[in-house]
Chain A
Amino acid sequence: MLIKIKYLGPLALMLNKREEELEVSSSASIDDLLRKLSSLYGEEFENEVLQDGGENVRTGTAVTVNGKVIGQLDGMGTRLKMGDTIALLPLFLGGG
């Protein structure tokens, strides 16, 4: 099935693209998607997105499905549906 992925912040810079469409299996989860993207884009991408050996989204990055953060869905196990829009974005953090 076809899904849309949006990249914001440093990830968009790294990949030199703001969005893309990707074919994933009909039972794919966020976990499957992030592993697939990591194998597609390599170690640098994986380090920016995942931590704990790929078990969790890296602190500092948020993943949303149709605008809802996966922490309020089923986390890495969140199942995807055809036409979903997944966004990978940096956490908004102020400071200095």
Chain B
Amino acid sequence: MHTYTGKILHVDLSTGRSRTDTFDEEFAKAYIGGTGFGIKTLIDNQKPGVDAFDPENPLIYVVGAVTGTMIPAAGSKFGVFAKSPASNLLGEAYSTGRWGAELRMAGYDIVVIKGKAPHPVYLWIDDESVQLMDAKHLWGKSTWETEEMIRNELGDQLIRVSAIGPGGENLVKVACLLNDHFRAAGRTGLGAVAGSKNLKAVAVRGTHDVSVAEPAKLLELCKDLYERCKGPATTKYRTLGTPANILTLNAQGALPTRNYQSATFEGAEKVSGEYLNEHFVTKIQGCTACPCRCEHIAEVSEGPFKGAIARVEYEPTMAFGPYCGVDDLAAVIKAIEYCNLYGIDAIGTGIIVGFGMECYEKGLITKGDTGGLELKFGNGQAMVEMVKKIALREDIGDVLAEGVKGASEKIGNGSQHFAMQIKGVEMTGYEVRGLKTCALGYAVSRRGADHQRHGSYTWDQTGKVDRYKVDSGRGKLVMGDEDNYCIFDSMILCKFTRTIWKGYDEIAKVYSLVTGIPMTGAELEKTGERISNLARLYNVREGLTRNGDSLPPRVLKDPIPSGTSKGSFVSEQELNTLLDGYYDARGWTREGVPKKAKIEELGLSAYAQIGARG
């Protein structure tokens, strides 16, 4: 097989030993790469029920099937997996930039890191050479300092570094792993898993070639794919970037505002993609092998946040803008910069700060708790300071560092009603009260509150369904979206190119041209279903039940107060209709457990004991 190295690197931080294992074509075809490899490796390498911070919880890096090739917008994708400290279920996050291609060129498709080092270390993978390096001098350093210091001390500026910051060291539940300055494996708290292992970073340098099975045919197809990538399908990403969503969502009454108290924001214009481009964007750049060039680098040139720099996307802009009631993009950029430096997820952190602001306004926390900060909605300066306090666990930041679920359990006094999380993972930027197909996608998402595992808002916003109503047929729609995204996340293809692809058949063709392994569109579709079911089996094994497939109380009780979606919410009855329809479509029990027949149909018999009978 081509492209795949067929190698798995196992590293034990407790003993300092490493070994290389291999996988064959059968494994590759069944699980593709990316999320398929990640979930399969996690379920096979993690003892059931261990705590996320137990040394036996493996931290797993994977590359996609086409990582390191010229497939557009897929050149350097990689994924990170572990049991999540936020959800105690599947932890899963993706990043891009240049790190992923470097790992494959070093000779590995999967890296499994277990154990706990006796003192801070970083893992240095230099082609076949694998070493644990002392990182005591790096502990406490920001992600950017860490990246630079590792490159300097190893004497190679082409080394790629995936690092944690103080957030990961302090076991903050939204800690992430940063690489290439602006790219993060952001969600589900995997930086904290690294921190719990005393693992500061994984540095990689690879010099091997990546071969493809049919270079001439692949080149021809890629010429067409690149042209499609530069066409109307990606105009939004190339011009305004994802922050274009701010005004669109505001117009549709679907922009989460002030901790989900509203679905429209009166200050939307001032935090829009249009305003950002005009006043703050200094550079637009892209990842390895990508013609889309979507990264909008924004810098603050004056005022109290002068000098702040960040890659600005819709989600963090929403989280630190409308969600915190802040209409000052300079403060938003500074907050994102702090998240990058301290190594905490900018989405989750913004949602946590918004939660803290509502607690403050309701008198559940006071200035005495916040270290003197007036943590009210709209106070950009306090928001920025609170980001730092969360990463460093200072004052109320120590409580908020547990995520909104953990923090609301500690704060109590009814705060759980407005703790916007699912399965312990903070909500993302879509007001699901008026996007009810999307709401189902959120409720059942394998990694907690998330739009990225299904993208089911498309049905709602194109009007193919009535977004304010539910029916049991939505389950089949979400299932199809999830299985499709499993393939995107296994290949790993950037979802910004989602509309350039001509279905499973074309992706299967690319897979075969790259790897040399025969694959049909139908086989690929079935593989997506296999991966979705394997993820569910993992989560069921770790304790997920139907009760976990839910929505925040505010979504289930409080109608949207104004705007296009005024009056809409998802009732308990509606949620049950959606869940029943989804489980039925999946061939699962009404408790959300895969049935034996489905497990066997998908070639997952090795996990039959986790599933239900029948």
Interface, chain A (partner B; CB < 8 A): 6, 8-10, 12-13, 47-48, 58-60, 62, 64, 67-73, 87, 89-96
Contacts and interface: CB of A to CB of B under 8 A. Distances in A.
B76 to A, nearest CB: 12
29 contacts: A8-B248, A8-B251, A9-B239, A10-B235, A10-B244, A13-B239, A13-B274, A58-B232, A59-B499, A60-B233, A62-B463, A67-B253, A67-B564, A71-B462, A71-B463, A90-B236, A90-B244, A91-B248, A92-B252, A92-B457, A92-B461, A94-B314, A94-B315, A94-B429, A95-B494, A95-B495, A95-B496, A95-B498, A96-B242
A47 B231 CA distance: 9
Contacts of B457: 92-93
Nearest to B466: A72
B577 interface: no
Contacts of B315: 94
B451 interface: yes
B349 interface: no
A5 to B, nearest CB: 13
A38 to B, nearest CB: 13
A92 B313 CA distance: 12
Contacts of A90: 236, 244-245, 248
A92 B249 contact: yes
A53 to B, nearest CB: 15
A95 B489 CA distance: 11
A72 B249 CA distance: 18
A49 to B, nearest CB: 9
Contact of A47 (B232, B240, B253): B232
Given A9-B240, A60-B233, A95 B463 contact: no
A96 B463 contact: no
Contacts of B496: 93, 95-96
B455 A94 contact: yes
Contacts of B249: 92
Contacts of A87: 251
A94 B452 contact: yes
A73 to B, nearest CB: 8
Q: Which of B232, B254, B466 has the most CB of A within 10 A?
A: B232
A45 to B, nearest CB: 10
Contacts of B78: none
Interface string B282-323: 000000000000100000000000000000011100000000
Interface in B249-264: 249, 251-254
Nearest to B435: A92
A67 B88 CA distance: 40
Given A62-B462, A93-B458, A96-B496, 13 more contacts: A10-B239, A10-B244, A13-B239, A58-B232, A60-B236, A64-B251, A67-B564, A68-B463, A71-B463, A71-B464, A91-B248, A93-B498, A95-B242
B455 A9 contact: no
A95 to B, nearest CB: 3
B96 interface: yes
A8 B247 CA distance: 7
Contacts of B498: 93, 95
Contacts of A59: 233, 499
Interface in B152-197: none
Nearest to B244: A9
A48 B235 contact: yes
Contacts of B495: 93-96
Contacts, number: 108
Interface residues of B, number: 44
Contacts of A47: 231-232
Interface in B221-241: 231-233, 235-236, 239-240
A46 B494 CA distance: 26
A91 B96 contact: no
B461 A62 contact: yes
Contact of A10 (B236, B313, B494): B236
Nearest to B450: A94
Contact of B430 (A8, A60, A92): A92
A92 B462 contact: no
Given A10-B235, A96-B313, A91 B461 contact: yes
B428 interface: yes
Interface in B49-107: 94, 96
A42 to B, nearest CB: 14
Q: Which of B254, B294, B462 has the most CB of A within 10 A?
A: B462
Contacts of A94: 242, 245, 314-315, 428-429, 451-452, 455, 495
B385 to A, nearest CB: 28
Q: Which of A67, A70, A73 has the most CB of B within 10 A?
A: A67
Q: Which of A9, A13, A72 has the most CB of B within 10 A?
A: A9
7 closest Cβ contacts across the A-B interface? A71-B463, A95-B495, A69-B463, A72-B463, A92-B245, A9-B244, A67-B564
Nearest to B314: A94
Nearest to B497: A95
A60 B235 CA distance: 10
Contacts of A72: 463, 466
Contact of B240 (A13, A67, A68): A13
Nearest to A71: B463
B466 to A, nearest CB: 6
Nearest to B235: A10
A84 to B, nearest CB: 15
A87 B233 CA distance: 19
A64 B461 CA distance: 10
